[in-house]
C-alpha cells in the first residue's frame, strides 16, 4: 500500500509563488528539493456541487504516474497530507535548493523570528526556465493574419499545429509534434480536459543552452475530479451512463475553428475514430503498444482507501476509474484495427 507522506513539518520556501486556478499552491522544501504542494479546490462556487472539495491532488498523482508508466518524462509526484488535506507534491524541475545563513539583515527582510538568526535556512534558486507553449504561440506570426486569432491562449487545433510546424524554435526541434499527439491521446485516456497552452512547453538551461521538451506536468483535471462517490456508483450500475462518461461526451481543450470562428471543443474519441490526422493515428498506435493495464491497475490498487480520518480513494472510486480506462482502451484498439 502506498505510504501517505506527512508534509506538515516541511518548511515553506520563501519567494516562490505558483499561478493557476485549480486550487491553492505553495512551495515547500522536502527531501532537499523544492516541491509545489497542490491543495484540493473548494467547490463552493459550483452549481449544486456534490462534494466539498475536488479530488484534483489524487487526479494529479494518478495522471502523472500513468504518464510515467507509459515511459514519458513527467514531473515527480508524491501523495500526502498537509493542513489536514489530501495533497499532491510536485517536484519543481526549474528550481534547486541552497542554504543561507540568517543575518540580522536577512531576518529583518524575511520577517523571521529572532531565534532564526545565525541558523541556516533553505533558499531556492532558479536553475532552468520553463517556456510555455503559450508564449511560443504568442510569438508565432501566422502567414494568414486575417484568419489567425493572434493570441497565445487560444486553442484552435489548426493554430496549435501551425505553431508547432512553423514557429522558429519548435519547427526544428525533433519530437514536438509527436509529444503533442501523445499527450492528446493519453489525456483522452485519463480524462484530462485541460492541456491548455500553459500546461506544456520547453525547458531552457542557461548554462548548457539546451532547450528540450519539458517533462509532462499539470494533470490535475483528469479522472472527473468533481464527481461524488454516489455519482460514480450510479454510473457503475448503468452501462449507458458509464459509456457516456468514458468516451461519448468527454471533450478536450482543443477546438475546431468552425464557421463562426468561435469553434467548438473536440471530442478526442470521435476525432480519433474519424482518423483525419495520420500523426494522431500514429500516436494511438504507440499508446496501444505501450499501455500496460496490469501496472495501471496495480497503481490504482496501491492507493489507500483512507488515512486516519481522511478519505483518500474508496473502492468504488477505484472501480469507476478502472472501468473508464478499460472502456477507453477498447475504443483506441478499435480505432487502429
CA distances from 14 to 29, 100, 104, 110 (A): 10, 12, 17, 8
DSSP state of 156: B
CB 236 within 8 A of CB 320: yes
Residue 17 pLDDT: 86
Q: Which residues of the chain have pLDDT under 70?
A: 43-53, 121-122, 141-147, 258-262
CA distances from 100 to 86, 116, 313 (A): 31, 11, 40
Residue 35 pLDDT: 96
Question: Is residue 103, in this structure, part of any structural domain at all?
Answer: no
Q: Which domain holds residue 185?
A: 5-93+128-335
CATH of the domain at 261: 1.10.1070.20
Residue-wise pLDDT for 67-96, tens only, equals 999 999 999 999 999 999 999 999 999 998
Distance of CA 22 to the CA centre of its chain: 10
Q: Radius of gyration (Cα) for the chain, nearest Å?
A: 21
CB 138 within 8 A of CB 152: yes
Question: Is residue 276, in this structure, part of any structural domain at all?
Answer: yes
Question: Is residue 197, in this structure, part of any structural domain at all?
Answer: yes
Residue-wise pLDDT for 14-63, tens only, equals 778 888 777 799 999 999 899 999 999 876 555 555 565 688 999 999 99
Question: Is residue 106, in this structure, part of any structural domain at all?
Answer: no
Amino acid at each position: 500500500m502506498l505510504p501517505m507522506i506527512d508534509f506538515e513539518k516541511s518548511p515553506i520556501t520563501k519567494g516562490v509563488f505558483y499561478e493557476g486556478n485549480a486550487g491553492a499552491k505553495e512551495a515547500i522544501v522536502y527531501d532537499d528539493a523544492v516541491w509545489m504542494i497542490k491543495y484540493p479546490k473548494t467547490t463552493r462556487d459550483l452549481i449544486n456541487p456534490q462534494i466539498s472539495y475536488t479530488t484534483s491532488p489524487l487526479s494529479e498523482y494518478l495522471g502523472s504516474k500513468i504518464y510515467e508508466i507509459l515511459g514519458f518524462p513527467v514531473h515527480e509526484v508524491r501523495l500526502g497530507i498537509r493542513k489536514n488535506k489530501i495533497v499532491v507534491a510536485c517536484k519543481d524541475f526549474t528550481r534547486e535548493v541552497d542554504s543561507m545563513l540568517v543575518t540580522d539583515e536577512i531576518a529583518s527582510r524575511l520577517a523571521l523570528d529572532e531565534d532564526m538568526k545565525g541558523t541556516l535556512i533553505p533558499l531556492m534558486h532558479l536553475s532552468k526556465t520553463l517556456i510555455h507553449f503559450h508564449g511560443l504561440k504568442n510569438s508565432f506570426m501566422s502567414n494568414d493574419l486575417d484568419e489567425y486569432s493572434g493570441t497565445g491562449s487560444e486553442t484552435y487545433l489548426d493554430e496549435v499545429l501551425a505553431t508547432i510546424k512553423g514557429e522558429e524554435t519548435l519547427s526544428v526541434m525533433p519530437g514536438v509534434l509527436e509529444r503533442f499527439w501523445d499527450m492528446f491521446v493519453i489525456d483522452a485516456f485519463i480524462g484530462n480536459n485541460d492541456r491548455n497552452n500553459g500546461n506544456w512547453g520547453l525547458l531552457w538551461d542557461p548554462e548548457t543552452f539546451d532547450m528540450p521538451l519539458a517533462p509532462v506536468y499539470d494533470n490535475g483535471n483528469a479522472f472527473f475530479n468533481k464527481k461524488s462517490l454516489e455519482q460514480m456508483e450510479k454510473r457503475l450500475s448503468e452501462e449507458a451512463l458509464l459509456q457516456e462518461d468514458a468516451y461519448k461526451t468527454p471533450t478536450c481543450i482543443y477546438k475546431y475553428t468552425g464557421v463562426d470562428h468561435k469553434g467548438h471543443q473536440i471530442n478526442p474519441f470521435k476525432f480519433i475514430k474519424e482518423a483525419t490526422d495520420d500523426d494522431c493515428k500514429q500516436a494511438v498506435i504507440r499508446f496501444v503498444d505501450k499501455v500496460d493495464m496490469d501496472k495501471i491497475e496495480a497503481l490504482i490498487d496501491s492507493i489507500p482507501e483512507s488515512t486516519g480520518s481522511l478519505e483518500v480513494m474508496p473502492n468504488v472510486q477505484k472501480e469507476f476509474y478502472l472501468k473508464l480506462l478499460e472502456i477507453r482502451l477498447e475504443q483506441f484498439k478499435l480505432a487502429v484495427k
